[in-house]
Structure 1
Amino acid sequence: MRRIIFFVAILLLVCCKNENVQQSLESEGIPIEKSISKIINKRDFPIKKFSKIELVSYYNRVVWDTIKYKGESASYKVVVDNYKFTFDSTMIQERVILNKSQEKELINLLISDTCIPQEMEAGCYNPRHMILFRDEKNRIIGYNEFCTSCIGSRNSSNLEGFQKYCYADMAELFRKFGIKLFVEYGDGNGAKEYNFFKSKGFN
């Protein structure tokens, strides 16, 4: 009995120590990677010569993006070609340029295969967020557009097949970096989006 009590006491001490270490690191500003699942693999990021990373948000692009590109509609078309958007960029609501520390945190999530088990992709696609990689001339050389509600994405060819992070983790990072436009059905923001579309003539 004494031996069992001894082992339980040791286990409690170890758990408390680990928790204190994590709290200490967080208090010092060192980010602790948190995910709904574990990292099983890390890969090299394929875009090597980007100058800056920009996060953008907009209301559901599929509703207002009426510009077809190379015969493809909003849901399926390439959204950046020849360094430029193939949609009306004036519809972008928020822009955030990341600092170097934020860039490292974002890249760390991008290169980590964190979603095990994988999030289930729905049959819809309502994109509201995009990551842009720009070169020294401010040209867009890579992008990752995604839909957190439908669990889907569109990527530039140099990022095709690369995305394996959890969308919930990326949404949390966007919020942390200052993006506020998120529409979760039932949270009241759906009405804001509807009124925005109505004001622009989209019913």
Structure 2
Amino acid sequence: MTISEIKKSFPYNKTKTIKLVSFKYDYPGFDTIKLESAPYEPEIPKTNGQIDLSKMFEVKTLDNEAEEELLHLLMNYDDQDTNEIALCYEPRNGIVFFDNGERVIGYIEICFECLQYKAEPTRITVSTLYPHEYKALQEFFKKAGIVYGTVEDRH
């Protein structure tokens, strides 16, 4: 797909700015977890249900060239080599999409360890991501200056 074709689908059709982020989070302590509560599921940091950039470890705003490279990785990368994956899902990195008013219109959180992602809202268009796509995205994050969550020692 061309960049103009990609920009016709959500969220790219409403995106003015894209930021790459890394984040750390605290698991709730055993003393604060009630046995009847739902299991803790790690996610991108939020305050009152909204993504909170002040809680991010690293934030990098992409320029136009980097945005186009990212859109190509998310929508056109098609290397279907497969590998075994882990099921940890501890996301440490994300892609946050902003509209003209600098309001968050969506995000993709990524776990480079288990090669899984979650997009919110779920209608965000992303091509199928295989291990080589995750590796390419991981390298893209590193090139943009995001270190946490993209290098071997992630903890």
User: In which range does the TM-score fall when normalised by the shorter chain?
Assistant: 0.7 to 0.9
2-structure distance, mates of 1:83, 1:52? 20
C-alpha displacement at 1:123, in angstroms? 1.7
> In the alignment, is the contact (CA less than 8 A) between 1:54 and 1:132 conserved in 2?
yes
Q: Write the mapping of 1:96-115 to structure 2, written as runs, cut at 5 A.
A: 96-115=60-79
Q: Which residue of 1 aligns with 2:146?
A: 179
1-structure distance, mates of 2:97, 2:109? 12
Instruction: Note the aligned Cα RMSD (angstroms).
Output: 3.1
Counterparts in 2 of 1:120 and 1:163: CA distance versus 1, 3 Å: farther
The aligned amino acid for 2:57 is: Q
- Which of 104, 127, 131 is the matching residue for 1:140? 104
CA distances 1:53-85 after superposition (whole Å, capped 9, x unpaired):
0000123x4xx154x9xx67324x687699712
Identity across matched positions, percent: 27
* Greater length-normalized contact order (CA 8 Å, ≥ 6 residues apart): 2
- Give the number of equivalent residue pairs: 138
Q: Which residue of 2 aligns with 1:158?
A: 123
- Which of 70, 73, 84 is the matching residue for 2:50? 84
Q: Which residue of 2 aligns with 1:74?
A: 41
The structure with the larger Rg is 1
Q: Which runs of at least 4 in structure 1 moved beyond 6 Å after TM superposition?
A: 77-83
C-alpha displacement at 1:118, in angstroms? 3.2
Q: Which runs of 5+ in 2 are unaligned?
A: none
Counterparts in 2 of 1:103 and 1:78: CA distance versus 1, 3 Å: closer
C-alpha displacement at 1:163, in angstroms? 4.2
The TM-score, its normalising length taken from structure 1, stands at 0.57
1-structure distance, mates of 2:49, 2:65? 25
Higher strand share: 2
2-structure distance, mates of 1:78, 1:56? 9
2-structure distance, mates of 1:98, 1:130? 13
CA distances 1:93-150 after superposition (whole Å, capped 9, x unpaired):
1000001111111111111142312343322112110000011121111111111111
The TM-score, its normalising length taken from structure 2, stands at 0.72
> In the alignment, is the contact (CA less than 8 A) between 1:142 and 1:158 conserved in 2?
no
2-structure distance, mates of 1:171, 1:78? 17
2-structure distance, mates of 1:92, 1:99? 19
Counterparts in 2 of 1:163 and 1:146: CA distance versus 1, 3 Å: farther
Q: Write the mapping of 1:188-199 to structure 2, written as runs, cut at 5 A.
A: 189-190=153-154, 193=155
